[in-house]
């Protein structure tokens, strides 16, 4: 039996986050309230289109679900094949990470006195329904991996900009940076705005 998708959940999240940003909150308030909104979204696993939940055997996938018309924020599904991981990287904008399926590990890094990177504390294990935040200058450099070697994991990321177009960096162990722009894995956005299918005329 095919599950009926609930695109209104994502629409509702987008609307509420846009309204929050209209209030111009400070970083602390934004992340606190944004985490609550994202937690409500990832508490349900009945809204993500199947074609934006597909792994690739070569590398993790970053599917764009929505980008604000003013590029104030973007919503992305990260799909992790078994054992896949990112390089050590940064974001340069605020970010929220909510776990939808499976689990992932996020290891933070800090620079030592020589500028080299070293792990900062234990890796954080994110389980379905849980949300973490990143912020430039505080918790922005990390490495993320699928916590499972034998199954797919999916997390929903929200960033304070069009993350696929932002110039960022990956890091070598000595702390040196290599610029990159991630782009996205998909070429089409999910159509979550066709209300005719949800409210048919009787």
Condensed to tens digits (0 to 9), the pLDDT of residues 110-134 reads 988 888 999 999 999 999 999 999 9
Q: Which DSSP helix (H) or strand (E) runs through 16?
A: helix 8-22
Asked, for residue 145, whether it belongs to a domain, the answer is: yes
Give dist(CA 187, CA 202) in Å, integer: 35
Asked, for residue 82, whether it belongs to a domain, the answer is: yes
- Condensed to tens digits (0 to 9), the pLDDT of residues 63-97 reads 999 999 999 999 999 999 999 999 999 999 999 99
Asked, for residue 12, whether it belongs to a domain, the answer is: yes
Q: How confident is the model at residue 2 (pLDDT cuts 50, 70, 90)?
A: low
Asked, for residue 159, whether it belongs to a domain, the answer is: yes
What's the pTM value of the predicted model, to 2 decimals?
0.93
Tell me the Ramachandran region of residue 186: left when phi exceeds 0, alpha when psi lies from -120 to 50, beta otherwise: beta
Q: What is the pLDDT of residue 60?
A: 97
Q: What is the pLDDT of residue 200?
A: 66
- Condensed to tens digits (0 to 9), the pLDDT of residues 129-188 reads 999 999 998 778 999 999 999 999 999 999 999 999 999 999 998 999 999 999 999 999
Asked, for residue 197, whether it belongs to a domain, the answer is: no
For residue 75, how many other CB atoms are within 10 A of its CB? 22
SS3 call for 128: coil
Q: How confident is the model at residue 1 (pLDDT cuts 50, 70, 90)?
A: very low
Asked, for residue 190, whether it belongs to a domain, the answer is: no
**Strand locations in 122-197, DSSP E?**
124-126, 131-134, 142-146, 153-159, 168-171, 177-180
Asked, for residue 198, whether it belongs to a domain, the answer is: no
Q: Which DSSP helix (H) or strand (E) runs through 42?
A: helix 27-42
Give dist(CA 110, CA 175) in Å, integer: 9
Average pLDDT over every residue of 96-116: 93
For residue 112, how many other CB atoms are within 10 A of its CB? 9
CATH number at 152 reads 2.60.120.10
Asked, for residue 128, whether it belongs to a domain, the answer is: yes
Q: What is the pLDDT of residue 195?
A: 85
Give dist(CA 65, CA 56) in Å, integer: 17
Q: What is the pLDDT of residue 104?
A: 97
Structural domains counted in the chain = 1
- For 53, the domain range is 8-184
């Amino acid at each position: 039996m095919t599950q009926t998708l609930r695109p209104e959940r994502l629409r509702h999240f987008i609307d509420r986050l846009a309204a929050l940003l209209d209030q111009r909150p400070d970083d602390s308030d934004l992340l606190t309230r944004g985490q609550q909104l994202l937690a409500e979204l990832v508490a349900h696993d009945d809204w993500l289109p199947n074609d934006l939940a597909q792994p690739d055997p070569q590398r993790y996938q970053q599917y764009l679900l929505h980008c604000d018309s003013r590029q104030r924020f973007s919503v992305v599904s990260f799909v992790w094949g078994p054992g896949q991981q990112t390089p050590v990287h940064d974001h340069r904008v605020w970010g929220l990470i909510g776990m939808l399926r499976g689990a992932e590990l996020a290891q933070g890094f800090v620079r030592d006195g020589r500028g080299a990177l070293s792990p900062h504390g234990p890796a954080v294990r994110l389980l379905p329904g849980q949300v973490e935040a990143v912020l430039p200058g505080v918790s922005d450099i990390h490495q993320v991996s699928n916590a499972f070697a034998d199954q797919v994991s999916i997390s929903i990321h929200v960033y304070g900009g069009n993350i696929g177009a932002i110039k960022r960096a990956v890091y070598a162990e000595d702390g040196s940076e290599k610029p990159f722009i991630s782009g996205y894995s998909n070429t089409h956005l999910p159509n979550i705005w066709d209300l005719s299918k949800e409210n048919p005329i009787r």
